[in-house]
Amino acid sequence: MGHYSFYISTLVVYFGIDLLSAWSLNLQYGYTGVINFAYVVFQATGAYVAGVVVLGSDTGAGSYQHYILGAHLPFPVPLLAATFAGALLSGVIGLFAVRRIRRDYQAAVMLILSLILLQLVQSDTAIFNGQDGITAIPHPLQSALGLSLSTYQWVYALWVLAICAVVYVVVQKLCRSSWGRSLRAIRDQEDAAASLGLNGTKLRLEVLIIGGAIAGLSGGLLVEYIGAWSPGAWGYAETFVIFTAVLVGGVGNNRAMLLGTLIVPIIVLEVPSFLPTIVYPGLIDAIEWIIVGLGWMGFLLVRPRGLIPERRFHAPRRLSSAVDRVGLLGVIAPVTANVGAPVDATAPAAGARAERGREEE
Amino acid sequence: MNILIQTIGFGIVSASIIAVGAMGFTIQFGLTNVLNLSFGGVMTVSAFIIYLTEQQAGINVWLGLLLAGVGAAALTVFLGKTVFKVYARRGTHLFEMVMVTLGLSLVIEYAVDAISRDQVYSISFDQGASYHIGAVTLSESQIIIVGIGIVVFLALEGLLHLTRLGKALRAMAVDPGLARSCGIPTNRIVNATWLISGFLCGVAGVIYVINSLSVSYTTGMLFLPSVIAAAILGGVGSPRGAILAALLLGLVTQLVAAAGLSAYSSMAAFGVLVIVLLARPSGVLSAAARKVELTL
């Protein structure tokens, strides 16, 4: 029983952390169309920062690891530091990465960044202890609460789920606000949205920063749970897992992230760890990655909007009934109302996307 | 001073390696508008072909190079005609296409990982005698690499500007619809592009591992950033731009490494790319500003 309890609580923690990541990427890709192939970099930033600010000054446990920013900070501060670090790095990178350049260039620049920063941290051992990474990060509050490890596992799982609930409420509120509507407007028709005074670059930057904050938070939660972090944990393929979860669940639908996260990181990647080694160690991992890659390509081909796609946005009743009476949705609404709300009304002109059936109920 | 000149010599060697890949990448990107991240995966395959032929089977290195190039070309044409074409028919957007190519890259990479048993293989390659050219000392294989870079560049320029195929390629890169209505067999031209791009990709993968002396399933992804950076920096579809950008990146990388900051050398190359994106974004402007469609 003990083993299963441990395993299941671990899965719950991973599920919560991947869910946070999926919401972050969904906000960026699903709502705004930013293809952030460097997602895992921001998660790693949060993880490293949360780690080094509890490990104490440079020497670490037994002075075998070297890193910057060493400190001894009490419990909730490392998580806040991780969140802030993720947001800060996103802001810096966003200054050049989300300008008005072609989206495929954006994606390529992000991917290059992810690959190069990994090489940098691997080869400069003074930043975060290079290839070996940082270890011996204590579980927060375990001794203060006086819990056994098996109980602590479940307490931590609940803590992660509670954070998920908070983040969900925040993200959902953001996405339904007029700000969220302007995100979808610049995603679907940047020119039309710009003509209404929306600044696409600024919105993309804001989304990158908010997503980066969530990424940093998720990294902090992860490192406090597993107690170690090294370059092996943040290859570019890790971004891919979360991206696949978004694609499978439903692009632009925060609730569908539950489904996507359950299927991709948990069922496809975690459950096979039960299987015995076949042929040589590592073969199952490779096969898992191939399955993820094929799943990703398959969904892009067959259901690029996911299993439960974004639902069509309905204008508030007051506005829509007024428009019904006037009957000039596409003409009057964008002009009369403030930015955001009625921009979806330009959807009929949105061309390709609408043709592909995104707007259907 | 001698160290500086020597560093420039090494910079030219790494520039030649990057340039061959970047020219293959850019010519295909310019024509089809697919930002093909699976280029890295194909490079890994070609690196393993040279490992298996030259290192294991003992085949002559030039023949191995040819086999790797042909293998990579065949794989690229196959992917272009099957995978990419299917997505293009479905009306996949440009930005979704880049996601498709990354997925493909992951699949190829981990297929290679599964076949290569998750190991890193070292390549023992006789670098040949050392030659002194002024203050620069280069090994025979390094000189050959530079030679390959120059030959590929001249051949590509000749192809683009002196042959009918090249004329058709340039016409299609500008306006595929108009090219088609002028009677250019666009389908065949696209095939030719996949073929050329794949061959160069294979050659680049081979000279990369001959220089770095090891091969594993991550090889392509280690090399890909420089290739894409050079292609974007040089302007899409321009071999001349690609070779200039490769020179710049190669020199910056080697100079930073020579200054004792080798951990930061690829970061410096990325910095150059960022500066260009900020200062001169022509050619990288949003698709809305410049009408771009998939040509497959």
| pLDDT number for residue A84 | 97
Integer Cα distance of A156 and A149 in angstroms: 10
| Per-residue pLDDT tens digits for B231-289 | 988 888 888 889 999 999 999 999 999 988 888 888 888 888 888 777 766 555 444 44
* Residue of higher predicted confidence among B102 and B1: B102
Beta bridge partners of residue B5, listed in sequence order: none
**% of chain A beyond a pLDDT of 70:** 84
Interface contact B292-A102, CB threshold 8 A = yes
Which CATH number belongs to the domain containing residue B128 in this structure? 1.10.3470
**Residue appearing with tokens 């990369």:** B208
**Closest among B294, B76, B105 to B197, alpha carbons compared:** B76
Are A107 and B286 within 8 A, CB to CB? no
Q: Are B120 and B214 in contact (CB under 8 A)?
A: yes
Residue A32 structure tokens? 């705004």
Say what the ipTM of the complex is.
0.90
Distance (Å, rounded) from C-alpha A94 to C-alpha A205?
5
pLDDT for residue A204 is more than 50: yes
pLDDT of res. B136: 86
Choose among A100, A116, A301: nearest Cβ to B270. A116
- Amino acid identity at A89: L
Residues forming beta bridges with residue B132, ordered by sequence position:
B137
How much is the mean pLDDT over chain A?
Answer: 84
Contacts of residues A298-303 at CB distance under 8 Å and 24 or more positions apart, as own/partner, are A299/A244, A299/A247, A299/A248, A300/A247, A300/B87, A300/B92, A300/B96, A300/B99, A300/B100, A300/B103, A301/B86, A301/B87, A301/B90, A301/B92, A301/B100
Query: Across the interface, do B113 and A289 touch by the CB < 8 Å criterion?
Result: yes
- Asked if residue B289 is part of any domain, the answer here is no
Distance (Å, whole) CA A200 – CA A188:
11
Over residues A214-236, mean pLDDT = 94
B39: chain A residues, CB-CB within 8 Å = none
Do the domain assignments include residue B293? Answer: no
Residue B277: list chain A partners with CB under 8 A. Answer: 96, 99, 101, 109
Placement of tokens 């710009």 in the chain: A194
Render pLDDT for A295-309 as a digit per residue (tens, 0 to 9).
999 999 999 899 998
Question: Which of the residues B284, B290, B294 would you substitute to probe the A interface, choosing the one with the greatest number of A C-beta atoms within 10 Å?
Answer: B284
Q: Is residue B288 part of a domain?
A: no
Q: Do B266 and A104 touch (CB under 8 A)?
A: no
Q: Is residue B292 part of a domain?
A: no
Is B108 domain-assigned? yes
Over residues A178-203, the mean pLDDT reads 92
Q: Does residue B123 fall inside a structural domain?
A: yes
Q: What is the percent of chain B with per-residue pLDDT over 90, rounded to a whole number?
A: 59
Distance from CA of A290 to the nearest CA of B (A): 5
What is the domain count for chain B? 1
CA distance A41 to B237: 30
A281 contact partners, CB below 8 Å, separation of at least 6: B118
What average pLDDT score do residues B138-158 get? 94
The confidence score (pLDDT) of residue B291 equals 56
State which of A142-146, A319-323, B94-98 shows the largest mean pLDDT. B94-98
Q: Quick one: A302 exposed, middle or buried, by C-beta within 10 A (0-12, 13-18, 19+)? A: exposed
- Chain B positions touching A102 (Cβ under 8 A) are 94-95, 284-287, 292
Cβ–Cβ gap B229/A112 under 8 Å: yes
Q: Which uninterrupted H or E stretch holds A151?
A: helix A149-176
| Segment B202-211, tens digit of pLDDT | 999 999 999 8
d(CA A85, CA A127): 15
Residues of A in contact with B110 (CB under 8 A): 286-287, 289-290, 293
Domain with B170 in it: 2-279
pLDDT tens digit sequence for B212-236: 899 999 999 989 999 999 998 888 8
Q: Which residues pair with B214 in a beta bridge?
A: B122
Which range, A135-139, B120-124, B144-148, has the best average confidence (pLDDT)?
A: B144-148
What does each C-alpha distance from A359 to A105, A196, A280, A302, B7 come to in angstroms? 27, 21, 48, 17, 57
How far is B190 from B196, CA to CA, in rounded Å? 10
**C-beta atoms of A293 and B287 within 8 A:** no
Task: Name every chain B residue with its beta carbon within 8 A of the beta carbon of A100.
Answer: 285-286, 289
At residue A75, what are phi and psi to the nearest 5 degrees?
-40, -65
Q: What is the mean pLDDT of residues B113-130?
A: 88
Point out the residue among B117, B228, B273 whose CB comes nearest to the CB of A280.
B117
In a domain, B296, yes or no: no
How far B264 CA sits from the closest chain A CA (Å)? 6
Residue with tokens 């390629």: B169
Q: How far are the Cα atoms of B21, B33, B163, B188 from residue B169, in angstroms, in the given order? A: 19, 13, 10, 10
Cβ–Cβ contact B259 with A under 8 A = no
Q: What is the pLDDT of residues B22-73, one digit of tens each?
A: 999 999 998 888 899 999 999 999 999 999 998 888 888 899 999 999 999 9
Tokens describing residue A269: 């990647």
Total H helices, total E strands in chain A: 16, 0
Amino acid identity of residue B225, one-letter, is P
Residue B291 inside a domain? The answer is: no
| 3-class DSSP string for A158-216 | HHHHHHHHHHHHHHHHHHHCHHHHHHHHHHHCHHHHHHCCCCHHHHHHHHHHHHHHHHH
